[in-house]
């Protein structure tokens, strides 16, 4: 929670991947705090539903259909957010997916490239689009979604995805340190298994899902809201010295 009451009221957050899962949960949490919420997603209908829920909570909403693998669309997303609300203080790059589980020797160029386009370039484009605006204002917080998978490497199912999320982690550290003396904070969140459409979208076998659950000492998956509340804290005035780091949220699982 922020240190200052109503800290987020009237401020603006851009959230990619806002149509479902962690992105949607975070959008509603920021709306609860009175922030203007820009919901961006390639799933236009899902993003619109999120936008409707944001307005139901009494916050201002802008829905921008966005494919984060397109630099042009991401740049336009940021432009529209600034035009609508004047300033953008926060960006949460949540869009990402494993796309498809695969053994390492069966990863082809198409799967590898699509995984990096979505998970790495999507974050790269988002940060490059918003940073000039944040630097002009002398303030901004960017939070990216990494993953616990980079600690283990994704053997047998998702080396491509773990590698992409490792790149997100590294890029976050670099951006944070490059702009730390100019009012910018940049962080990442590295979740363990979370109850979202992620596993179904990645065609994860039921026995693999069960293995993931068994590996969590709490014996459950996390909830999207548990990540969203952390993102709110990271963006708040309660942790101004926090940057160039990732926070692991995993129910005690190490995956080492």
Q: Angle, to 10 degrees, between the axis of helix 44-56 and the axis of helix 21-32?
A: 20
DSSP per residue, 103-120: -GGG--HHHHHHHHIIII
- Using the structure block, give the residue that is written with the tokens 């002398």: 138
- How many whole angstroms separate alpha carbon 231 and alpha carbon 21? 14
CB atoms within 10 A of CB 183: 13
Any idea how long the chain is? 256
Cα 212 to Cα 219: distance, rounded to the nearest angstrom: 9
Q: How far apart are CA 233 and CA 135, in angstroms?
A: 21
The first and second tokens of residue 58, run together, are 């009494």
Catalytic positions, written as ranges: 161
Output the DSSP codes for 8-35.
Answer: TTT-EEEEESTTSHHHHHHHHHHHHTT-
20, two tokens:
């479902």
Q: Please compute Rg for the chain using Cα positions.
A: 17
């Amino acid at each position: 929670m922020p240190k200052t009451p109503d800290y987020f009221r009237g401020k603006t957050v851009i959230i990619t991947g806002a149509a479902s899962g962690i992105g949607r949960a975070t959008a509603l949490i920021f709306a609860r705090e009175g922030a203007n919420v820009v919901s961006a997603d390639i799933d236009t209908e899902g993003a619109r539903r999120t936008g409707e829920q944001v307005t139901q909570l009494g916050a201002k909403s802008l829905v921008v259909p966005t494919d984060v693998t397109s630099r042009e669309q991401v740049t336009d997303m940021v432009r529209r957010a600034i035009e609508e609300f004047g300033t953008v203080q926060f960006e949460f790059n949540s869009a990402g997916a494993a796309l498809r589980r695969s053994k390492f020797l069966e990863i082809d160029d198409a799967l590898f490239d699509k995984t990096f386009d979505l998970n790495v370039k999507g974050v790269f484009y988002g940060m490059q689009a918003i940073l000039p605006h944040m630097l002009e204002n002398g303030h901004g917080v960017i939070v990216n979604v990494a993953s616990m998978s980079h600690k283990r490497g994704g053997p047998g199912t998702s080396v491509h995805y773990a590698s992409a999320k490792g790149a997100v982690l590294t890029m976050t550290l670099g951006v944070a340190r490059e702009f730390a003396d100019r009012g910018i904070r940049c962080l990442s969140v590295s979740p363990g298994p979370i109850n979202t459409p992620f596993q179904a979208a990645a065609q994860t076998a039921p026995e693999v899902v069960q293995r993931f659950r068994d590996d969590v000492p709490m014996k459950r998956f996390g909830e999207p809201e548990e990540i969203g509340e952390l993102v709110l804290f990271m963006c708040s005035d309660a942790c101004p010295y926090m940057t160039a780091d990732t926070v692991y949220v995993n129910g005690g699982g190490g995956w080492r």
